[in-house]
Structure 1
Amino acid sequence: MIICCGEALIDMIPARSDAGEEAYVPHVGGAVFNTAVALGRLGADVGMISGISTDPFGARLVAAMQASGVDTTRLIRADRPSTMAYVTLKEGSARYYFHDENSAGRMIAPEDLPALPDSCEALYFGGISLAVTPGADTYAALCAREASARVVMIDPNIRPGFIRDEPAFRERLAKMMQQADIVKISDEDLDWLRPGPEGASEKAAALRAETGALVILTRGAEGAEAHSAAGVVLSPARKVQVVDTVGAGDTFNAGLLAALAQAGCLTKEGLAGIEAATLGAALDFGAQVAAVTVSRAGANPPWRAELEG
């Protein structure tokens, strides 16, 4: 089992009412939620740990996870509001404005964390859930508790406007990346994390040297590259008509994890000795899955049957 640990929220997407007025339409979302749903649709054994409200939006999130095959038995339910993310789209690219004070997702504490089953082979962390306390410290505690026994993957998915304490965020993220087996990061996030004149590939190589993790760098239309014990492995982006980029990176992560699990490499030993061809195939599958998501509106990952049809 792969357990995704982090936010599930409501994306408020701009639209027009029947009268032609500007409006917002609620959609289920969140970076970690999107990855969990995508994994479920790909047929992976996946669960989620997240703080979820008992309000109607929370019920909608739970129903959406269950409809995509995500195990919801470890969700932490609370009588607090759901996190809302108001989205603006410019030329297909999304920008987010968050309402998260006192939310069910943000306010989880270490004592709320469930025990993990022996079948859990990997934990995935990322998104805004790593940016604000107390929830961010709770996820960091879970990572520290489990990193020696299970594969840990982190995608920072940095939203600079959401970070209230940048030094604390950088310190927390640095510790978690030291515990991680896989760090996936976009070129934009890497530039924010490591400002300087070096190119993205050089920064990714330096991050691997510092953490020892498999570092996967995504570069939008330029594709992805992995820095591993097998060397640098490149994967081109798929050519597709882009509708919007909402959920693209999250879906890539799901495809990557699903491919690694299917290849029998989602273990510490398997990742340490992974061959370039196997890693390249996993990157390519992540790109294939993400290409479907960007070809349609919103974070709507494909089902396995869509890829095989």
Structure 2
Amino acid sequence: MTTAPDILCIGSVLWDVIGRATIAMRQGQDVPGRIERLPGGVAMNIAVALGRFGLSPSVLTAIGRDAEGDELLTACDALGVCTRHVYRADNLPTDRYLAVEGANGLIAAIADAHSLEAAGVNILRPLMQGPLGTTDSPYDGLIALDGNLTVALLEEIATNAAFARADLRVAPASPGKADRLLPFLRHPRAVLYVNLEEAGILCQLRFDSAAEAAKTLLRHGAARALVTDGANPACDASAAGLILAKPAAVPVARVTGAGDTFMAAHMAAETTGASREQALDRALAAAATFVSGVEPA
């Protein structure tokens, strides 16, 4: 891969441990299913999806100098994700994510991203001190950010001169971390990718539709917002107007990573010159395919 990637993905790269059952589940229930471990994390999921769409992504993250970290780097390389600029420290173990899913969606999850949080600004060195950019010669490409970064680090990205020319695409890792995106709510170059619940947390309101949520995000200062609402219509809102599209109805086989796939497909579509309508349609189609469990060709 070249030194300059098509898109930088900044955030969590870790091991996902996901248990899936084919029946609806309730809290405390013990049911048969399948458990798998695979490379994950929001930044990683976005990067892998971008690679499937023909782009060359690179990740900025923290991965431990342990056996799990070595294995994760090997897996990243096999998936076409550049890890040349990853920060590694002897005292930080590789992060992990644990989730349980049923036919009725995500039942519970725990994200252990403590090493990423502890690494802090160290993961940004390639953008601040080279080779990808500096404060005097800022990186001017696409950057996907995820909400697993700390508020302090997100504030640094929002204000540091090294990011003054970047096209920033921002998504929370989960509703519980949605408020971490507040530094980008009034950022002139940030595009927010959120679901209905996350939009409500950012605006401290309750919404009945993606369109209502997206319009309110604009009123709160967002330059552009894409809001999804499960099987209901999604919305892309900016000063240029509102675009609405309804996702295809598909059986739900998995949910973890669906939002990341949506974001990656949307970014990839826009890099090819797709219109806002086309980009939203392609993103919804990619997310629906992912949720259905169909593996991309």
Contact 1:87 1:97 in 2 (8 A): yes
**Equivalent residue for 2:288?**
291
Pair 60,41 (structure 1): closer, same or farther in 2 beyond 3 Å: farther
Distance 1:188 1:207 in 2: 13
**Equivalent residue for 2:269?**
259
TM-score (norm 1): 0.78
Residue 103 of structure 2, aligned match among 70, 73, 91: 91
Percent of aligned pairs with the same amino acid: 27
Structure 1 residue 23: Cα displacement: 8.4
1:234-276 deviations in Å (ceiling 9; x for gaps): 1110222221112110000000000011117xxxxxxxxxxxx
Structure 1 residue 72: Cα displacement: 1.4
Residue 110 of structure 1, aligned match among 117, 121, 126: 121
1:137-168 deviations in Å (ceiling 9; x for gaps): 234313422442111111123342xx6xxxxx
Pair 112,215 (structure 1): closer, same or farther in 2 beyond 3 Å: closer
Tell me which amino acid in the other structure corresponds to 1:181: A
**Equivalent residue for 2:27?**
none
Contact 1:144 1:176 in 2 (8 A): no
**Equivalent residue for 1:273?**
none
SS in structure 2 opposite 1:71? Answer: coil
**Equivalent residue for 1:157?**
173
Bigger drift between 202-211 and 81-90 goes to 202-211
Pair 23,249 (structure 1): closer, same or farther in 2 beyond 3 Å: closer
**Equivalent residue for 1:240?**
250
Aligned residues: 269
Tell me which amino acid in the other structure corresponds to 1:221: A
Pair 143,69 (structure 1): closer, same or farther in 2 beyond 3 Å: farther
Tell me which amino acid in the other structure corresponds to 1:153: R
Correspondence list, 1:17-32, <5 A: 24-32=35-43
Tell me which amino acid in the other structure corresponds to 2:53: L
Highest RCO, 1 vs 2 (Cα 8 Å, sep ≥ 6): 1
TM-score (norm 2): 0.81
Pair 73,142 (structure 1): closer, same or farther in 2 beyond 3 Å: farther
Tell me which amino acid in the other structure corresponds to 1:151: D
SS in structure 1 opposite 2:205? Answer: coil
Tell me which amino acid in the other structure corresponds to 2:60: I
SS in structure 1 opposite 2:182? Answer: helix
Structure 1 residue 71: Cα displacement: 1.9
Pair 177,212 (structure 1): closer, same or farther in 2 beyond 3 Å: closer
Residue 75 of structure 2, aligned match among 53, 61, 64: 64
CA-atom RMSD in angstroms: 2.6
SS in structure 1 opposite 2:288? Answer: helix
Pair 4,238 (structure 1): closer, same or farther in 2 beyond 3 Å: same
1:80-133 deviations in Å (ceiling 9; x for gaps): 2122222111325223113344x2x22113245213257751111123x13x4x
Structure 1 residue 24: Cα displacement: 4.9
Contact 2:17 2:37 in 1 (8 A): yes
Distance 2:155 2:78 in 1: 29
Distance 1:85 1:111 in 2: 22
Residue 143 of structure 2, aligned match among 123, 130, 153: 123
Distance 1:209 1:255 in 2: 26
Distance 1:57 1:224 in 2: 38
Distance 1:155 1:143 in 2: 14
Distance 2:194 2:37 in 1: 28
Pair 196,178 (structure 1): closer, same or farther in 2 beyond 3 Å: closer
SS in structure 2 opposite 1:106? Answer: helix
Pair 100,184 (structure 1): closer, same or farther in 2 beyond 3 Å: closer
1:36-77 deviations in Å (ceiling 9; x for gaps): 110012111311110111222222332232223222111111
Q: Runs of 5+ in structure 2 lacking a partner?
A: 1-5, 22-30
